[in-house]
Amino acid sequence: MLTQEQNDRLCRIGPRTLMGALFRRYWMPIATVDKMREPGSVTAARLLGEDFVVFRGKDGALGVLDEFCIHRGASLALGRVEECGIRCLYHGWKFGADGSVQDIMNLPADKRPPKLRASAYPVVEAGGIVWTYLGPKEKRPPFQRFAFMDVPEDQRVLLRVDTHCNWVQMIEGGLDSSHVSILHTNAARPDWAGAAAQAVGAMNDTGPSLEIEDTEFGYHYAAFRRGSDGANVRVVPFIMPFGRIIPGGALQGKSNFTIAFEVPIDDEHTATYSVRYGSQPISLESRLKETGYDDPELYSRESRKFLFTRGDNAKQRRDIMDQNWSGFRGIAVEDAVIATSMGPISDRTRENLISSDLAIARFRKCLMDSIDRIERGLDPVGVGFDVGLISAIDAAAPEDQHWRALVPGHHAGVAA
Ligand code: FES
Ligand SMILES: [Fe+2]
């Protein structure tokens, strides 16, 4: 249980908040490359409660600027994209991707005000995602290169899904191992309602025991389940401040992984960027089907929005719940429905955590410790770490060694 003040500190990420300062020390996804492929493309993008414009100049280079024109505030998302820059429709000011003011159409050339500049942010394209860094220039870390970015394009699929809820409830759902064989009963324990199919792996054990160890990038949790063939362990990394890697395991294929980033759009909206990747080719269609986002009632492929809103319970199929645990189809849909059902910002003054929620409590501590580190002039945990080393696994629990040996990039944590 948190106090209201602690909950606000955990959840709110605007420019003048402590959590906002923490997030602004990492590279963040701001858009997907598929919407920005063509030279001349432009989109408005909200990130951490602030508004930006992302554009690709006719020269092919990407730029990220504050959305509102520094002259009199028109949206540059309406602007004309030109050779290496974007021009505001209103009075024709032109800005380079570096924020330089290159032309002012409504002023004689000899009257140009000196030293005006738009706020511009660095950009990297990687793994199908446009990344930017919003923090202080002198603190900018090297770009983090995750393993999925080096997987051939036909062996990875990126989905972006925007939900109407705070980012914390999305990631806390992702780090909550015990719900997997309950909320996702139909995928994990298809035999529950008498069907012939077997439970997946050790998923019949609905009360996994958890162990957690801090690492240089966040932590690893290990969830142990007892199955008929012995004990199984799922080791999942939490990657500061908003990421995790889910091993496919028996549920989604041993050579598959999903990396997910819960990116705060603002305090009440989250963009989940998830990339499913592995050693086999994978299509967008199969990924949409697996997640449940192939249902146009629940997900718009055009706007990337999750269409279930709190209280929208008519979308739940109560008529099939004797055979379908949740009344929804698809693991990711079930997760997003639950997070949305908690309201825009979950009220943690009323929760009651138990030992199964160990990873949730540690997640909060991790973030609070790093806020503390910033206040002491230290870098937050994970900044500068080689994230390409981070892995996840779903496997038989080893009898003769510690579970951390299953994840070679473990890197035991720094003291808070
Ligand atoms: S508001 Fe953009 S040029 Fe005037
Ligand atoms: Fe889930």
Which tens digits make up the pLDDT trace of 325-367?
999 999 999 999 999 999 999 999 999 999 999 999 999 999 9
Instruction: Report pTM.
Output: 0.95
Question: What's the CA gap between 71 and 74, in Å, rounded?
Answer: 8
Same domain for 36 and 97, yes or no, is: yes
Same domain, 176 and 306: yes
For the chain, what percent of residues have pLDDT higher than 90? 84
Residue 11 lies in a domain: no
415, part of any domain: no
Mean pLDDT for the chain overall: 94
Nearest CA to ligand 1 atom 3: 91
Ligand 1 proximity of 145 Cβ (cutoff 6 Å)? no
Q: Alpha-carbon distance 135 to 26, whole Å?
A: 8
Are 114 and 177 found together in one domain?
no
- Same domain for 113 and 214? no
Q: Is 74 near ligand 1, meaning CB less than 6 Å away?
A: yes
Is residue 3 one of the residues assigned to a domain? no
Residues 318 and 355 in one domain: yes
- 198 band by pLDDT with thresholds 50, 70 and 90: confident
Residue 95's CATH number = 2.102.10.10
Any domain includes 81? yes
Is 88 close to ligand 1, i.e. is its CB under 6 Å away? yes
Of 249, 243, 238, 307, give the one whose Cα is nearest residue 275: 243
Query: What confidence tier does 248 reach under pLDDT thresholds 50, 70, 90?
Result: confident
Task: Give pLDDT, residue 378.
Answer: 96
Structural domain for 84, as ranges = 30-132
Q: Considering the domain boundaries, does residue 102 fall inside one?
A: yes
Say whether both 291 and 175 belong to one domain: yes
How many structural domains is the chain composed of? 2
Same domain as 324, residue 242: yes
CB 46, CB 266: distance < 8 Å: yes
Atom of ligand 1 nearest to the CA of 92: 3
Residue 371 carries which side chain, given as an amino acid letter?
I
- For residue 321, tell me if it sits in a domain: yes
Residues 313 and 398 in one domain: yes
Asked whether the predicted pLDDT for residue 200 surpasses 90, the reply is: no
Helical residues (DSSP H) of 147-280, grouped into ranges: 167-174, 180-183, 185-188, 249-252
Query: Do residues 214 and 272 both lie within one domain?
Result: yes
CA of 212 to the centre of ligand 2 (A): 19
